Amino acid sequence: VNEPTVYVGTFIHSPRDDACKLDICEKGAIGVNSEGVIEFVERNIEELSPVLEKYPAFSDATIVTASPKGNQFFFPGFIDTHIHAPQYPNAGVFGSSTLLDWLNKYTFPRESSLSSLSVARTVYSRCVARTLAHGTTTAAYYATIHVPATNLLADICSSAGQRAFVGRVCMDHKDINPEYYRDESADESIANTCLCIDHIKKIDPNYELVSPIITPRFAPSCTAEALEKLGKLVKETNLPCQTHISENRNEIQLVKKLFPEYDSYAEVYDAFGLLTPKMILGHAIHLSNKEMELIRSRKAKISHCPASNSALTSGGARVRWLLNSGITVGLGTDVSGGYSPSMLEAVRSTALVSRHVAMTDGEECKLSVEEALYLGTRGGAKVVHLEDKIGGFEVGMEWDAQLIGLELVEKEENDKEEFADDEVVDKVVFDGPKGAGPVDVFGWESWDDRVAKWVYNGDDRNTLMVWGII
């Protein structure tokens, strides 16, 4: 429980139902009560005292002010809808592999090392700290097959105050998974998943901060028996579920070979009762029209992972097409298929990959900075069914936010408009980074332009503060 707090300054977020623009509120004040819930949002205030008089519960509130110079603003926390925490040490290391050989060469050996709880502690605490530093207040994590390490990840998220969905991965298929890293049977997969659910229930009975998420790794890694049992578990528990779909063409061929009785990859999940509104499908690059329609009709959600899809040369997901079809889309870093734990990078690569898709599929496929930011906040909130709590600044929602700071370049005091013909310009000395992040903004720029520069040039140095669950 915290002091009531009023946050004062510029607030920028996406409107709830309009991905195409940003709501930019200069001179705003947001009152957050001791439970971390927003009680008021005031716009265009000239002075704070009338606001504090209007809301007596905030008369002694702590005041947190963003710089009024136009180089700082409050923004919602990012929601990473697909990230593999045990793969964090490999972020940026993928050589020239594609999905199936990458799994065997880089991923399974790395994940299997988390059988050691001390390795798990080192990797998970750094992964959670690093994603928080990048402004990720909510993450849907894939863990490993190991129960103690998965439980530890839940504990670490809980103590760090990062909202998290923590999934023990299920992978019992003997022909696909290596002997050194797999579940020995479908029953073991389910039993160990249940142990992790029980642990999280113990540390967070109402799943306020940390929730279990049922995680069949992807169809090829699971036997039909395991998929069927996991589908039943989803139904019994009403827990969320996550997996991968249609990421890579060889993977799709493998699914055809392993499940010849189904017409498509999406139908495999549907046949086992896994295609529900609580399913988060990672990637969804090469879907057929029929699969897209099936996913839409089941209200399953999609996590778009553009940095990963570029790194592993998986392809460019047709996000405009998914959105126009009425499917809910959020963004994921997919570390370490994705090279970066930064959701800002996921936002940036969403915009860039959409430009590549536009080169073949048409101009309308381009996603704007506003749309990409929407997907990283409001879109992600819908994917994890928390759209009434996080992803924007509205009364009744939680204060789930980051303070963004950009470097303001100010004019020299005695700058002259003209130079004499014979005047020599002083030698320009580069005095190095100021430590305030890599984005320079100038006095004449609009907020829209400053935000675009943050998206294309920014990094975690621009995330000055992060507030999530308290």
322-351 binders of Zn ion (CB under 5 A): 334
CB 188 within 8 A of CB 217: no
Taking the C-alpha atoms of 218, 326, 208 and 135 in order, what is their torsion angle to the nearest 10 degrees? 80
Nearest residue by C-beta to ligand GUN?
337
Interface with ligand GUN includes 218 (CB under 6 A)? yes
Instruction: Look up residue 443 and give its two tokens.
Output: 């006095």
- Smallest separation, CB 66 to Zn ion (Å): 35
The residue among 332 and 380 lying less far from ligand GUN, judged by its C-beta, is: 332
The residue among 49 and 96 lying less far from ligand GUN, judged by its C-beta, is: 96
Cα–Cα distance measured from residue 391 to residue 38, given in angstroms and rounded to the nearest whole number? 13
Cα–Cα distance measured from residue 361 to residue 459, given in angstroms and rounded to the nearest whole number? 30
The residue among 167 and 380 lying less far from ligand GUN, judged by its C-beta, is: 167
107 binds, among Zn ion, ligand GUN, none (CB under 5 to 8 A by kind): ligand GUN
- Smallest separation, CB 216 to Zn ion (Å): 12
Peptide bond into 336 cis (omega under 30): yes
The residue among 311 and 408 lying less far from ligand GUN, judged by its C-beta, is: 311
Q: How far is CA 235 from CA 128, 151, 240, 274, 278, in A?
A: 30, 23, 10, 9, 10
Cα–Cα distance measured from residue 137 to residue 154, given in angstroms and rounded to the nearest whole number? 14
Q: Which string of x and - marks every residue 74-103 that binds ligand GUN (by CB under 6 A)?
A: ----------x--------------x---x
- Going by their DSSP bridges, the two strands 401-405 and 463-467 should be labelled as antiparallel
Stretch that binds Zn ion, among 92-100, 201-209, 235-243, 275-283 (CB under 5 A): 275-283
- Smallest separation, CB 252 to Zn ion (Å): 16
Interface with ligand GUN includes 337 (CB under 6 A)? yes
Interface with ligand GUN includes 112 (CB under 6 A)? no
The residue among 76 and 282 lying less far from Zn ion, judged by its C-beta, is: 282
Interface with ligand GUN includes 341 (CB under 6 A)? no
- Smallest separation, CB 111 to ligand GUN (Å): 8
Interface with ligand GUN includes 334 (CB under 6 A)? yes
Interface with Zn ion includes 80 (CB under 5 A)? no
Instruction: Look up residue 300 and give its two tokens.
Output: 């399953």
Interface with ligand GUN includes 212 (CB under 6 A)? no
Cα–Cα distance measured from residue 139 to residue 24, given in angstroms and rounded to the nearest whole number? 26
| Residue type at 243 in one-letter notation | T
Q: Which of 308, 349, 350, 354 binds ligand GUN (CB under 6 A)?
A: 308
- Measure the CA angle with vertex 374, ends 372 and 378; round to 5°: 145
Which residues of this chain interact with Zn ion, rule CB under 5 A? 282, 334
Q: Applying CB under 6 A, which residues contact ligand GUN? A: 84, 99, 103, 107, 217-218, 244, 247, 308, 334, 337
